[in-house]
Amino acid sequence: MKVLRIKLRQNQASYTREETRDNRMTYPLPPYSTLVGALHSACGYTEYHPMDLSIQGKYDSMQREIYVNHGLLNNRHDDRNILIYLSNPELLTAGFITVGEGLKGQGNSFLRRKTVRIENEKLYQKYVHLEDLKKEFEVEKKEVVKPMIDRLKGEERELKAKQNDLDKKSEEYIKLKSEIEELKAEYKRVDRDYKETFIREYEKPSSHFRTLVKAPQFQEVLYDVELAIHIRSDDGTIQDIKNNINNLVCIGRSEDFVELIEIKEVELREPYKDVNLKNNYKMYVNLDRIMTEDDDSKSFLIYDGQNKKEAKGTVYYLNKEYEIIENKRIFNKIPCLYSSLFMLDDQSEAYIDADEYLTDFN
pLDDT in tens, 287-301: 888 876 666 666 666
Listed residues 144, 179, 212: the one ending a domain? 212
pLDDT at 303 exceeding the cut of 70: no
Same domain, 171 and 246: no
From 103, 101, 24, select the one nearest 68 (Cα to Cα). 24
Residue-level pLDDT at 106? 83
Residue-level pLDDT at 295? 63
Residue-level pLDDT at 308? 62
Same domain, 156 and 103: yes
Residue-level pLDDT at 88? 83
Percentage of the chain exceeding pLDDT 90: 68
* Residue 319 domain flag: yes
Residue-level pLDDT at 310? 61
Residue-level pLDDT at 305? 52
Same domain, 155 and 172: yes
Same domain, 37 and 105: no
Listed residues 169, 191, 212: the one ending a domain? 212
Residue-level pLDDT at 296? 63
The residues, any chain, with a CB within 8 Å of residue 300's CB and separated by 6 or more, are: 285, 289, 290, 291, 342, 343, 344, 348, 350, 358, 360
Distance CA 113, CA 245 (A): 52
Residue 349 pLDDT class (50, 70, 90 cuts): confident
Listed residues 212, 245, 273: the one ending a domain? 212
pLDDT at 338 exceeding the cut of 70: yes
Same domain, 86 and 203: yes
For 26, list phi and psi in degrees, rounded to 5: -115, 150
CB 354 within 8 Å of CB 267: yes
Higher-confidence residue: 110 or 68? Answer: 110
Residue-level pLDDT at 280? 93
**Domain count within the chain:** 2
Same domain, 78 and 194: yes
pLDDT at 284 exceeding the cut of 90: yes
pLDDT at 21 exceeding the cut of 80: no
pLDDT at 93 exceeding the cut of 70: no
Same domain, 241 and 168: no
pLDDT at 44 exceeding the cut of 90: yes
Same domain, 76 and 206: yes
* Residue 217 domain flag: no
Mean pLDDT of the chain: 90
Residue-level pLDDT at 334? 95
pLDDT at 29 exceeding the cut of 90: yes
Residue 328 pLDDT class (50, 70, 90 cuts): confident
CB-based burial label for 165 (10 Å; 0-12, 13-18, 19+):
exposed
In this prediction, residues 99-121 reach a mean pLDDT of 92
* Residue 111 domain flag: yes
Distance CA 199, CA 215 (A): 32
Identify the three-state secondary structure at position 162. Answer: helix
pLDDT at 1 exceeding the cut of 60: yes
Residue-level pLDDT at 326? 85
Distance CA 323, CA 318 (A): 15
Is the torsion defined by CA of 142, 144, 145, 146 positive or negative?
Answer: positive
- Any idea what the CATH number is for the domain that residue 30 is in? 3.30.70
In this prediction, residues 82-100 reach a mean pLDDT of 82
Domain range for residue 53? 2-66+222-359
CB-facing half-sphere around the CA of 337: CA atoms within 13 A? 19
Same domain, 61 and 167: no
Is the torsion defined by CA of 328, 334, 337, 338 positive or negative?
Answer: negative
Distance CA 250, CA 282 (A): 21
Give pLDDT tens digits for 148-159: 999 999 999 999
* Residue 308 domain flag: yes
CB-based burial label for 99 (10 Å; 0-12, 13-18, 19+):
buried
pLDDT at 23 exceeding the cut of 90: no
Angle CA 307–308–314, to nearest 5: 120
In this prediction, residues 249-276 reach a mean pLDDT of 94
pLDDT at 7 exceeding the cut of 80: yes
Same domain, 60 and 82: no
Q: What is the pTM of this model?
A: 0.70
- Helices and strands in the chain: count of H runs, count of E runs: 6, 20
From 277, 299, 297, select the one nearest 289 (Cα to Cα). 299
Residue-level pLDDT at 312? 74
Among 51-65, 101-115, 280-294, 325-339, the least confident range:
280-294
Distance CA 133, CA 111 (A): 13
Residue-level pLDDT at 205? 95
Residue 260 pLDDT class (50, 70, 90 cuts): very high
* Backbone torsion region of residue 115, taken as left when φ is above 0, otherwise alpha when ψ lies between -120 and 50, otherwise beta: left
* Residue 104 domain flag: yes
For 198, list phi and psi in degrees, rounded to 5: -60, -45
Same domain, 290 and 227: yes
Among 167-171, 193-197, 288-292, the least confident range:
288-292
Same domain, 204 and 83: yes
Distance CA 175, CA 160 (A): 11
